[in-house]
């Protein structure tokens, strides 16, 4: 075997032979499994599970020492493991679009009205992105990856249901919540908000479908049912509506062979979502149409936030206000507009693309859009169909499509860590599967 072939054998997700044979639980497998579960549970359960929402929101700009220590420890552990297991594998995930994204983020930090805050948050984001890339190298094969994903999802689901049963005041929205008492009764489990819970439950449904195909039908069905029930009680309207749409679109892409078809389909619906949401504050005919057919044409108050965000964006369209340095700042709370309202104190734009434009400018939004939305679809199409890796590619594709659509209603990208993490893993995963195949 040549050296190039040996290197490729180490890089790829092993599929057909390994699915049939159960790997022995040796020390190497144990270390990989513990690290993988530690990473995924840290993001999904977090270092602050079951957060109380009764108290006023603390300073959004202050750092969290527990998060900093926890994720730094995970990063160092993964970096040490990766260094020992051929660090060149991580370099395969680097691509011009990702380098351009990071470079533009650095520009937005330099142009930020709070450069120290932007620099600190960019450093944390780079740590999260690095963890997402390195975590993909931990599973020994696709069966191992399936087992670990099933275990992580079931642990999180168990924690969410146990919270609802035994600690409802901190796992179900209450009328005493400081910011959004109108969400009373909606389940959130270990997560801070019902919409984050809805996004994670959708991701678990995708994982359950993957596990059912790769590992065990009943195990996968169990994950799907438990996540589906929790999704319904979370009452996250966007997540519930997007689930069937993503399943349909991913099925269409799975049967088509022209990249232009998939990209056009995904992007067209994405543009429609933004036109009939953020577009309602820009185009009067769209606003009138929505008002005629929707009982809540404000999208639960989002239109006021979108108008405020667009007004602010017009002042800094090129570089924005600095990476992750807009909401929660004193300039926004007290210095933007003579008539301050609750909007000045909100935590995000409730639209990831608008949020990115505010903080990194329109070029930053375009670069992230290309990296997170367009390129994963291209990576999916550039891989051969009818191989044992098909279920894994479909899992990653569904996560990417859902993340693109959910970002029209929530600021999940670079903000909400729990749903954002798996989107990063899926983006890197499609790239990883492609480059290892090309190397073969």
pLDDT digits (tens, 9 = 90+) for 170-206: 999 999 887 788 889 999 999 999 999 999 999 999 9
| Position with higher pLDDT, 251 vs 86 | 251
Q: How would you classify residue 328: left for phi > 0, otherwise alpha for psi between -120 and 50, otherwise beta? A: left
Which residue is associated with the tokens 């929101």?
Answer: 57
Q: Residue 169 pLDDT more than 60?
A: yes
Query: Which residues pair with residue 14 across a beta bridge?
Result: 141
| Position with higher pLDDT, 157 vs 387 | 157
Which residue is associated with the tokens 């997007």?
Answer: 242
> Is residue 5 one of the residues assigned to a domain?
no
| Phi, psi dihedrals of residue 396, rounded to the nearest 5° | -65, -40
What is the average pLDDT score of the chain?
A: 87
Average pLDDT over residues 160-174: 95
Q: Residue 305 pLDDT more than 90?
A: no
- pLDDT score, position 61: 62
Range of the domain at 356: 11-439
10 Å Cβ neighbour count for 317? Answer: 12
In terms of Cβ atoms closer than 10 Å to its own Cβ (0-12, 13-18, 19+), residue 23 is middle
- Could you read off the pLDDT of 2-61 as tens digits, one per residue? 444 333 334 445 444 444 444 456 899 999 999 999 999 999 999 989 988 887 766 556
> Is residue 2 one of the residues assigned to a domain?
no
Structure tokens at 97: 């679009």
Measure Cα distances from 418 to 24, 55, 155, 178, 187 in Å.
31, 22, 15, 22, 16
Which residue is associated with the tokens 């005629």?
Answer: 292
> With bands split at pLDDT 50, 70 and 90, how would you rate the model's confidence at 349?
confident
> Is residue 27 one of the residues assigned to a domain?
yes
Total tally of structural domains belonging to the chain: 1
Q: Among 70-79, 89-98, 183-192, 235-244, whose mean pLDDT is lowest?
A: 89-98
> Is residue 3 one of the residues assigned to a domain?
no
pTM: 0.90
Q: Among 18-22, 222-226, 277-281, 423-427, whose mean pLDDT is lowest?
A: 18-22
> Is residue 358 one of the residues assigned to a domain?
yes
- pLDDT score, position 308: 86
| Position with higher pLDDT, 201 vs 290 | 201
> Is residue 77 one of the residues assigned to a domain?
yes
Question: Is the separation of the CB atoms in 322 and 118 below 8 Å?
Answer: yes
Q: How would you classify residue 414: left for phi > 0, otherwise alpha for psi between -120 and 50, otherwise beta? A: left
> Is residue 336 one of the residues assigned to a domain?
yes
Average pLDDT over residues 124-135: 94
> Is residue 143 one of the residues assigned to a domain?
yes
Question: Is the separation of the CB atoms in 58 and 66 below 8 Å?
Answer: no
- pLDDT score, position 111: 93
């Amino acid at each position: 075997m040549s050296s190039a072939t040996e290197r490729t054998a180490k890089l790829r997700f092993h599929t057909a032979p390994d699915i049939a044979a159960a790997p022995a639980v040796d020390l190497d497998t144990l270390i990989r499994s513990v690290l993988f579960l530690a990473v995924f549970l840290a993001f999904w359960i977090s270092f602050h599970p079951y957060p109380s929402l009764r108290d006023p929101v603390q300073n959004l700009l202050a750092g969290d020492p527990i998060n900093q220590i926890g994720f730094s420890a995970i990063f160092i552990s993964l970096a040490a493991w990766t260094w020992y297991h051929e660090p060149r594998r991580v370099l395969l995930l680097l691509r011009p679009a990702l380098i351009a994204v990071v470079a533009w983020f650095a520009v937005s930090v330099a142009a930020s009205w709070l450069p120290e805050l932007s620099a600190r948050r960019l450093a944390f984001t780079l740590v999260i992105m690095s963890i997402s890339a390195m975590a993909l190298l931990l599973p020994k094969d696709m069966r191992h990856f399936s087992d670990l994903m099933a275990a992580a999802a079931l642990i999180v689901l168990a924690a969410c249901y146990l919270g609802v049963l035994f600690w409802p005041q901190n796992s179900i929205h209450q009328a005493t919540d400081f910011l959004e008492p109108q969400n009373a009764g909606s389940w959130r489990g270990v997560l801070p908000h019902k919409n984050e819970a809805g996004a994670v439950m959708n991701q678990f449904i995708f994982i359950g479908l993957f596990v059912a195909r790769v590992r065990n039908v009943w195990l996968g069905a169990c994950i799907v049912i438990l996540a589906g029930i929790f999704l319904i009680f979370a009452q996250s309207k966007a997540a519930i509506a997007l689930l069937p749409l993503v399943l349909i679109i991913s099925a269409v892409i799975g049967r088509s062979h022209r990249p232009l078809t998939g990209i056009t389909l995904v992007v067209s619906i994405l543009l429609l979502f933004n036109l009939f949401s953020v577009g309602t504050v820009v185009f009067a005919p769209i606003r009138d149409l929505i008002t005629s057919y929707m009982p809540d044409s404000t999208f639960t108050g989002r239109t006021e936030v979108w108008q405020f965000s667009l007004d602010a964006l017009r002042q800094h369209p090129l570089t924005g206000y600095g990476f992750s340095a807009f909401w929660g700042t004193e300039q926004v709370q007290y210095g933007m507009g003579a008539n301050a309202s609750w909007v000045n104190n909100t935590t995000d734009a409730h639209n990831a693309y608008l949020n990115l434009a505010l903080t990194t400018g329109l070029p930053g939004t375009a670069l992230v859009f290309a990296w997170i939305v367009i390129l994963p679809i291209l990576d999916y199409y550039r891989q051969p169909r009818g191989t044992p890796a098909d279920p894994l590619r479909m899992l990653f594709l569904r996560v990417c499509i859902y993340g693109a659509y959910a970002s029209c209603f929530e600021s999940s990208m670079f903000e909400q860590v729990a749903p954002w993490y798996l989107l990063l893993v899926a983006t890197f995963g499609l790239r990883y599967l492609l480059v290892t195949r090309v190397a073969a």
